[in-house]
């Protein structure tokens, strides 16, 4: 088991951007945290009104955005335009190559979102785009993966959990798999271990932990190839 405290994430600050990287990203390199199996990026981004990431390219990557507050506007070279609000999730498969921009769709409010990169099972796939509204419900919702709101080009699952105080849930990493948890709001505990907002935890093959919610809790859980 490995714990990634929120305060140890790698920071990027600009006049318009406040970003915290759970794993190595861009010019930031942390040899202990280059990813968790096929999960390569969790960036916690806050973008100022009217600002954003200009047009840039990606290839051979599954890119998922989860909007926490504000409005995120997406445009890409496939002709897709998305206006994403809280409670929405987006998946872009870069495949053979795609160019896109992401910027704050509001001139008055910040946008806060998580951007996630997962390595695909194959290279050279056709680019594709998908977005979905996340049901406003307690418990588990699969955002991407088998039986989920969106498909993904990997044997992986990304699930959202919303728990009430005292609710319990167990996670186990199977053979040749990784489980990674990322807390968005509230907290979850396993004995003396407590995870709060921005904290992450990785379980490797054979490891298992049962968590209970400390009040209302909202977090993401990944199940990916090691």
Give me the pLDDT at residue 107, please: 94
Give me the pLDDT at residue 209, please: 97
For residues 110-131, give the mean pLDDT: 97
Q: 124 falls in which pLDDT band (50, 70, 90)?
A: very high
Give me the pLDDT at residue 4, please: 98
For residues 171-180, give the mean pLDDT: 98
Residue 209, domain extent: 2-225
Query: What is the number of alpha carbons within 13 Å of residue 61 lying toward its C-beta?
Result: 15
For residue 35, give the nearest of 168, 224, 193 by alpha carbon: 224
For residue 46, give the nearest of 7, 102, 8, 4 by alpha carbon: 102
Give me the pLDDT at residue 78, please: 93
Report the mean per-residue pLDDT for the chain.
97
Q: 221 falls in which pLDDT band (50, 70, 90)?
A: very high
Give me the pLDDT at residue 204, please: 96
Q: What percent of the chain has pLDDT over 70?
A: 100
Q: What is the CATH number of the domain that holds 154?
A: 2.60.120.10
CA distance 222 to 142: 10
CA distances from 158 to 2, 29, 64, 97, 215 (A): 19, 25, 10, 23, 23
Give me the pLDDT at residue 165, please: 97
In the chain, how many domains are there? 1
Give me the pLDDT at residue 216, please: 97
For residues 8-30, give the mean pLDDT: 96
Give me the pLDDT at residue 144, please: 98
């Amino acid at each position: 088991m490995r714990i990634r405290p929120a305060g140890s994430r790698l920071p990027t600050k600009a006049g318009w951007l406040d970003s915290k990287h759970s794993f190595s990203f861009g010019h930031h390199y942390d040899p202990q945290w280059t990813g968790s199996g096929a999960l390569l990026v969790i960036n916690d981004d806050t973008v100022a009104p009217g600002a954003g990431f200009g047009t840039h390219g990606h290839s051979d990557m599954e890119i998922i955005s989860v909007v926490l507050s504000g409005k995120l506007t997406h445009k890409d070279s496939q002709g897709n335009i998305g206006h994403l609000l809280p409670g929405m999730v987006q998946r872009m498969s870069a495949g053979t190559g795609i160019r896109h921009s992401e910027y704050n769709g509001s001139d008055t409010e910040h946008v806060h979102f998580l951007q996630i990169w997962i390595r695909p099972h194959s290279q050279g796939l056709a680019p594709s785009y998908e977005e979905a509204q996340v049901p406003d419900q307690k418990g588990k919702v699969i955002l991407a993966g088998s039986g989920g709101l969106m498909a993904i080009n990997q044997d992986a699952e990304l699930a959202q959990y919303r728990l009430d105080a005292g609710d319990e849930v167990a996670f186990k990493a199977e053979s040749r798999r990784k489980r990674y948890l990322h807390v968005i709001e509230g907290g979850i505990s396993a004995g003396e271990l407590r995870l709060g907002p921005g904290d992450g935890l990785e379980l490797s093959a054979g490891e298992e932990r049962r968590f209970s919610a400390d009040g209302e809790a909202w977090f993401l859980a990944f199940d990916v190839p090691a």
